[in-house]
A = this chain, B = another copy of it.
Amino acid sequence: MKKLKGNLLYGQSGGPTSVINASAYGIIKEAMENKDVIEDVLVMKHGINGALNEDFFFISQESEENIDLLKHTPGSAFGSVRYKMPHFKEDETDYVRLLYIFQKYNIRYFLYNGGNDSMDTCLKISQYMKYVDYEIRVIGIPKTIDNDLPYTDHTPGYGSAAKFIANTLMEISCDMLAYPKGKVTIVEIMGRHAGWLTAAAHLATSRGFGPDLIYLPEVPFSIEQFKRDVRRVYGEKQQCLIAVSEGLKNEDGMFISSSSALKDAFGHFQLGGVCTKLSQILNNEMRISSRSIELGTTQRAAAHLQSLTDVNEAIEVGRHGVKYALAGISEVMVVMERTSTPDNPYVIKYNKHPLNEIANYERTMPESMITPDGNGVTDEFLEYVLPLIKGENTPVYKDGIQCFTKLN
């Protein structure tokens, strides 16, 4: 095979994870080990916007320390974007501009790091470049704490977020146990359509300190069932810890977080996020004192509690993206397949899957991982998630505060 010489263009898109920059590290390292083919790595500032605006970081100009710290830096170190590209048959403007940029910088490798929407962007760009006969290899690099991409055992970013949720819920549970008659505490966890991250709260319960009830977006949420569940647990324990997904929907498929999905007994709409609304209902209708915790973006940004397994896999996913591209493969997303060997129940094999089967498809939790009463998860889920949170990627601390990449 003739070597396709040129530059590699990389970008980050969608919500950050605590290990998306570890994938960037893997891509950069693999590219630098193939300098005979890949001359430099350019990174778009704020994803595809950076390409359209000709706004790049040139990795050859960054320090080795900054590259190394990518393994420990949360957020999107190069900036992210939420931009849905139109299909080129509807509007060619962006694509004509991209072609000009690709030619100007001799971009022959395009690696884009994101979730479902980003895979859609990858696919559209690849299709256009084929259409205009510009030779380029386009690879999708998965990331999302939501763990909702199909054809991969899990996604980089999920393991670290799950580890953060497990350890944080365990700590919240310990704190609650201080008082004999406690409150109801409701913790809201990210995940608009899939409950993978909320389910990880059960890891804490499996160690004796964790939520009593878990509500997932896969199960239609019934406020009456919720009240019965809380009444039962509170009656037994005088306290109750609850993990809820931000994506809970009522029986009509309407998000509980939307103001018209949930009324109290007096017909008033509840305000606030899911946990605030449910907390108000417990306080007002059941006279049970409750409080809510919204962890917000800390869930996807907690670099200080990364799973080492997750970091290493994120790096490898990046490296494999470059390897596939160098081998002439294009229009695929890197995926992970879980295999077992007699010596090791958890072995990951890297592979690839066509982008057109991945873009815009969301993978939710299977029924077999959710308890029949819909307020907990099964051992099958525990076996699935446990290997993903193993190992600690010890942060780089200076005087008690983490060191992160600061790009030029």
Contacts and interface: CB of A to CB of B under 8 A. Distances in A.
A178 B75 contact: yes
Contacts of A305: 304-305
A46 B301 contact: no
Nearest to A82: B179
Given A15-B178, A390-B399, 15 more contacts: A12-B178, A18-B171, A46-B179, A75-B174, A166-B401, A167-B304, A168-B298, A170-B402, A171-B304, A172-B297, A174-B303, A175-B301, A209-B404, A304-B305, A305-B305
A175 B272 contact: no
B297 A404 contact: no
A88 to B, nearest CB: 25
Interface of A: 12, 15-16, 18, 46, 49, 73-76, 79-82, 163, 166-168, 170-172, 174-180, 185, 203-204, 207-209, 271-272, 276, 291-298, 300-305, 307, 386, 389-392, 394, 397, 399-402, 404, 406
Contact of A389 (B75, B80, B301, B401): B401
Interface centre among A168, A170, A401, A404 (most CB of B within 10 A): A401
A401 B170 contact: yes
Contacts of A390: 399-400
Contacts of A208: 406
A64 to B, nearest CB: 19
B180 A79 contact: yes
Nearest to A203: B401
Contacts of A298: 168, 171-172, 293, 295
Contact of A204 (B177, B209, B397, B401): B401
A202 to B, nearest CB: 11
Contact of A79 (B15, B179, B271, B272): B179
A179 B80 CA distance: 6
A46 B180 contact: yes
B81 A179 contact: yes
B171 A74 contact: yes
A75 B301 contact: no
A298 to B, nearest CB: 6
Contacts of A185: 296-297
Which 4 A/B pairs are nearest by Cβ-Cβ distance?
A75-B174, A389-B400, A293-B296, A171-B301
Given A46-B180, A178-B80, A401-B203, A172 B296 contact: yes
A400 B207 CA distance: 11
A18 B167 CA distance: 13
Nearest to A177: B75
Contact of A301 (B174, B180, B400, B401): B174
Contacts of A176: 75, 297
A175 B300 contact: yes
A172 B168 CA distance: 16
Contacts of A392: 397, 400
A298 B391 CA distance: 22
Contacts of A179: 46, 79-82
A84 B297 CA distance: 38
A79 B177 CA distance: 7
Given A80-B178, A178-B79, A401 B207 contact: yes
Interface centre among A74, A75, A82, A177 (most CB of B within 10 A): A75
